Amino acid sequence: MAEMDSLDLPTHRELLPIEGMHCASCVGRVEKALGKLPGVVGANVNLVAKEAVVTVTVDGPGFEELRRAVTQAGDFRVPEPTPGEDRALPDESAEARGYLGRFVVAAILTTILLVLHVKHFVPVVAISDLPDTGARWAELALAAAVLFLCGHSFFTAAAKRAVRFTADMNTLIAVGAGTAFVFGAVVLLFPRSFGDGTTLHFHSAAMIVTLILLGRFLEARARGKTSLAVRRLLEIAPERAFVVRDGTEVEIPVDDLVVGDLAVVRPGQKFPADGVVAGGGGSVDESMITGESLPVEKAPGDEVIGGTLSKNGVIRFTVTRVGAETALARIVKLVREAQGEKAPVQRLADRVASIFVPVVIVIATGTLLTWLLLGGELEASLIAAVSVMIIACPCALGLATPTAVMVGTGRAARMGILFRGAIALETAGRATTVVFDKTGTLTRGEPTLTDIAPLGEMAEDTLLLLAATAERYSEHPVAKAVIAAAGDRGLEPGEPRDFRAVEGHGVRAVVDGALVLAGNRKLLEDEGIDAGALADLAAPLAKAGKTTVLLAVDSKPAGVLAVSDTLKEGAAEAVASIRALGVDPVMITGDSKAAAAHMADALGIERCLAEVLPEKKLLEVRVLMDAGEKVVMVRSGINDAPALAAADVGMAIGTGTDVAIEAADVTLMSGDPRGVAVAMKISRRTLKTIRQNLFCAFFYNVLAIPLAAAGFLTPAIAAGAMAFSSVSVVTNSLRLRHVEL
C-alpha cells in the first residue's frame, strides 16, 4: 500500500460497488489488490454491503484503475457508474430471489434423486420399478443437473480462482461436491472395481449444493435487512419539488433543483433540499434525521433539512444545499463509509480468513491420506475429506463483524447518532470517562441577563448600554445576552472603537471616549484596577450559579451584570445514564468555580474543571488520557477541535444543517445530551454481538472440523451445518435492531 508516500497529500474516499464476493478470503484478495495501487492510502471491503471504501490521494487512481485492479484480482465485477450511483445500494432482494429460484429447482431434483437412492425402501413409488442400472444412471443425470445447472456459479468461480492459483469458499464447495459426484460416476462406470455395497453418493453431491443454495438464499434475505436503515434514509428524500420560477409555481424533479431556488412545501410534504425559511411557517417533523420525536416550529430565518416532513402550515424556503451537499446525503455517505470501515476487533478474523481456505484444503487432503494409511476404505476416506471441506467454509467468519457493524450503525443513524467509522463505534463502548463542555452541551447555550448591579450612583440603563456597546462585536454567548437585554429595554448600542476581545477574560473597547472593560476579575486586575468591591458584589450572584460580568469605566469599577444559562432538558438524566454505565462524567468550563460548582451540583457531576481556557481544554483531556482513562469528549458544534481530536472519541452535539457531521468521531444530530449514553450503549451491544459472532464462527470450525475428519459427519450434514452457521451469525446481528438500550 502506497501509504508512506501519500501521508502529506490530501485524500478523499471512493465508494466502489463490487459483485462476486462470497467469503472473507474474497475480501482479503480485493483489499490486497486495491492496496497495491500507488495513491491508495487505505481500502476497506465490506462483504455484506458488497462495496469497498477506498481512501485515495488527490493524484491517486480513478474509478477505471480501481475497477481494473478489482476485476484482475478474481471473478469480481464492478458495475458501471450511473447517475445517482452514489445513492444506490446492492439489491439483496434480487440476489435472494435468484438463489430461491435455483434452490427450488435443486430441491425438486434432489428429492427425486433421494427417492431413487432409497427406492428399495419405498416400494409404493412407481419410479422404484426402474431397474437398478436405470435408476443409477438417472441419479447421475439428476445430480449433474443440480450441480452444473443450479450450482454452476460455484464451479465457474472455483475454476477462475484455480487459473489464478487462488482459492476461496467456492473452491471448497466445488471440490467437495465435485469429488462426491466424480466418485459416484467412477463407481457407476467401473462397478467391478468396487464392491457391490459401494454407495454412489450422487445424493450427497446434490444435497451439498441444494443446502448451500438454501443457506445463500436465507443469508441474502437476512443480509438485506442489515442495510435497511440506509435504504430508509435513501427513501426519505422526495423525488419531486415545487418551486417558484418567473412568478409561477411549477413541479420539477428534485435533481433539477439549484441553489437559490424558492421552494414551497405544504402540510404532509417533505422538504426536497436544505434551505432557510423565507416565508410562512409551521411545525416540522425532523425525527427521521435527528431522532427527535417532537416537531420543531419553523419561522422565517430558520434552517430546514431536506427529507424532513412539514406537519402544518405552508413554508416557502430558499434552497441552500442540493444533491450530495445536503445534510441527508452527507449522513448517508457517512453511514455507508462507517459500515465499510473495519473495526479493530476484526483484524484477527481477517488474518485467519486470509489463510483459512488453503489450510482447510491441506486438512482435507491430510484426512483422506490418514484414513487410507490407517486402512480405511476409499469411500469412507472420501466422505470424511469432503465433509471437512464443506463444513469448514469461512462464510460465518467473514460475516461476523460487518453484519453487526452495519446493523449497529444503522440503528444509531435512525436515532440521529452518526458514527464516523467502525473504530469510533468500538472505542465509544470502552470509554471510562465522558468530558462534557458545559455551554451549549449541557446547557441551552442561550444565557439571558438576570441582574444589573451598578456600583455607586450610575443608572442601570446607563451601565447596560455601556456594556452592550463594548460587547457589540463579541461572539460570546454572554455578550449576546447583554446586547439582547439592551434591545429589550429599547436601548441602541453605539459604535465601539478599538474593540479587542481578550480570550477567556472579556473585552475592552472605547465607548464615547471612555475605556470600558467588561469581563472577569483577571481582566480588570491585569489593567491595574482594584476589583475587590466588584468581586464582593458579584459573589452572591456567582454562588447562585450565574455568570457575572464585571465592568470598569476609565479604570474605575462601575458595576456588575449577571446572566444565567439554563440546563438542557434531559441533561441531568444524561449524566445519570452515563454514571449508570460505570463511566465517570466530568464537566469542563471557562466559567468561574462558583458558577461551575452550582451547575455541577444540579447535574450530579462530582468532578468539575472550572475557569479552563479553550487552549487548556486540550491539556485537561490529555491529563485524563495519560492517567489511563478512555476519554469521550462531548462538545456543542465543532469548537474546541483540538480537544475533540485528542480524545479517544470526539462527540459533536448540535442541531440543524450547520452540524459538521464529518468533523467528529460521533455526531448527535438531535442536540440531546442523552444521546451520549445511547451511543455508548449501542457501541457496547454491537461489540458484544461481534464477540458472540466471532466466538460462534471460531468455535464452530474448531469443533466441526475434527468431527468431520473423524467421520462423524456426512457431506450433507456438513453442508446444512455450514449454511446454518452463516445464517445464525447474520440473524444474531439483526437482533441489534430491536435490543433494548
- Residues classed as catalytic: 437
User: For residues 496 and 479, what is the distance between their CA atoms, to the nearest angstrom?
Assistant: 14
Contacts of 553 (CB under 8 A, 6+ apart): 466, 514, 515, 516, 517
User: For residues 368 and 379, what is the distance between their CA atoms, to the nearest angstrom?
Assistant: 10
For CA atoms 488, 494, 495, 498, give the dihedral sign.
Answer: negative
> Nearest CA to 644 among 653, 59, 253?
653
Identify the DSSP state of 404.
H
Q: Please give the angle made by the CA atoms of 424, 430 and 436, to the nearest 5 degrees.
A: 75
User: For residues 391 and 725, what is the distance between their CA atoms, to the nearest angstrom?
Assistant: 9
> Nearest CA to 73 among 197, 171, 166?
166
* Three-state SS sequence of 354-375: HHHHHHHHHHHHHHHHHHHHCC
Q: Are 168 and 161 in contact (CB under 8 A)?
A: yes
Rg (CA), the chain: 34
User: For residues 535 and 59, what is the distance between their CA atoms, to the nearest angstrom?
Assistant: 60
> Nearest CA to 709 among 374, 248, 368?
368
User: For residues 628 and 419, what is the distance between their CA atoms, to the nearest angstrom?
Assistant: 24
| Backbone phi and psi for residue 12, each to the nearest 5 degrees, phi listed first | -145, 165
CA 221 to chain centre: 21
User: For residues 570 and 608, what is the distance between their CA atoms, to the nearest angstrom?
Assistant: 19
Q: Give the number of C-alpha atoms closer than 13 A to the C-alpha of residue 92, restricted to the C-beta side.
A: 20
For CA atoms 281, 283, 288, 289, give the dihedral sign.
Answer: positive
The secondary structure of 259-303 as a DSSP string is TT-EEEE-TTPBPSSEEEEEEE-EEEE-HHHH---S-EEE-TT-E
> Nearest CA to 562 among 501, 478, 457, 462?
478
DSSP percent split of the chain into helix, strand, coil, nearest 5: 50, 20, 30
- All three cell numbers of 580, joined, read 449508570
Q: Are 516 and 551 in contact (CB under 8 A)?
A: yes
| Backbone phi and psi for residue 381, each to the nearest 5 degrees, phi listed first | -65, -45
- Residue type for 289, please? I
Q: Is 63 helix (H, G, I), strand (E, B) or coil?
A: helix
> Nearest CA to 55 among 10, 11, 5?
11
User: Which helix (H) or strand (E) segment is 334 a member of?
Assistant: helix 327-340
